[in-house]
């Protein structure tokens, strides 16, 4: 029997053309849920810090999770439904869906691994039919979000820790797999990219592109949506 393989997918700017965390904040501004002037400026500033590799994850989570504590889960779920339809579905490309589908059809153990919180990302993982989600967890008390994170955020080295704990819960580790892939766009994900045996840079930022080219990692794009380009642009893994 062929050994089981592992496929891990970053979400923002990898499977999506854009960042769901930042987009959720902008959506809240557009809906009048938060004060636009203050919230939009801070949302944009945190996003620039993330791209620069200077994000303080504790400060960011205090900011981004706070609005979740102000509404019931029913209200939030209704808002998220609008967010999916109006924003997220426009950020998904056929190539991203095809890559995930290929790994699932191969029987690989698949997980989305994202720093964006699980409230925002769980419905997106379900849309992609990715069965496992490793995301930053918003704390809940009495059925309501507290506005605080729970446990280790799935950010930078935290992704390595969270993936290791997830695999350990199944009596596995990275050495259990003949092939382990991680697909990401960001230099913030270098810790996890560096421990799988098939790191793949997807439409990478400049820092990740340089590292990938230096180390000979594959660099692919998932942003071609023209049908004639789809088959030629995506590079499916080899076994």
Active-site residue (options: 12, 19, 21, 189): 12
* C-alpha–C-alpha distance, residues 223 and 220, integer Å: 9
Tell me whether strands 132-141 and 109-117 are parallel, antiparallel or unpaired.
parallel
Active-site residue (options: 10, 108, 185, 189): 10
* C-alpha–C-alpha distance, residues 186 and 194, integer Å: 12
Residue 185: active-site member: no
CA distances from 53 to 29, 47, 148 (A): 25, 10, 22
Match 């810090």 to its residue by tokens: 49
Q: What is the DSSP string of 148-188?
A: EEESS-SSTHHHHHHHHHHHHTTT--GGG-S-EEEEES-GG
- H or E, element range at 74: helix 73-86
Residue 12: active-site member: yes
Our CA angle for 110, 183, 170, nearest 5°, is: 30
| Residues that are catalytic | 10, 12
């Amino acid at each position: 029997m062929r050994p089981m393989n592992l496929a891990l997918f970053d979400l923002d700017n990898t499977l999506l053309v854009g960042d769901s965390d930042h987009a959720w904040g902008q959506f809240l501004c557009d809906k009048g849920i938060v004060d636009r002037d203050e919230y939009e400026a801070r949302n944009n500033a945190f996003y620039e810090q993330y791209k620069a590799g200077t994000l303080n994850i504790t400060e960011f989570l205090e900011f981004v999770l706070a609005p979740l504590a102000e509404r019931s889960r029913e209200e939030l779920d209704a808002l998220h439904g609008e967010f999916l339809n109006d924003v997220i579905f426009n950020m998904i490309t056929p190539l991203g869906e095809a890559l995930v589908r290929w790994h699932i059809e191969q029987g690989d153990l698949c997980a989305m691994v994202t720093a964006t919180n699980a409230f925002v990302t769980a419905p997106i993982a379900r849309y992609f039919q990715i069965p496992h989600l490793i995301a930053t967890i918003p704390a809940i008390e009495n059925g309501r979000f507290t506005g605080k994170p729970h446990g280790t955020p799935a950010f930078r080295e935290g992704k390595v820790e969270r993936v290791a704990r997830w695999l350990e819960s199944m009596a596995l580790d990275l050495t259990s797999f003949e092939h382990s892939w991680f697909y990401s766009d960001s230099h913030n994900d270098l810790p996890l990219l560096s421990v799988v045996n098939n790191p793949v840079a997807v439409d990478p930022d400049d820092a990740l592109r340089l590292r990938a080219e230096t180390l000979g990692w594959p660099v692919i794009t998932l942003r071609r949506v023209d049908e004639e380009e789809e088959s030629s642009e995506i590079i499916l893994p080899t076994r």
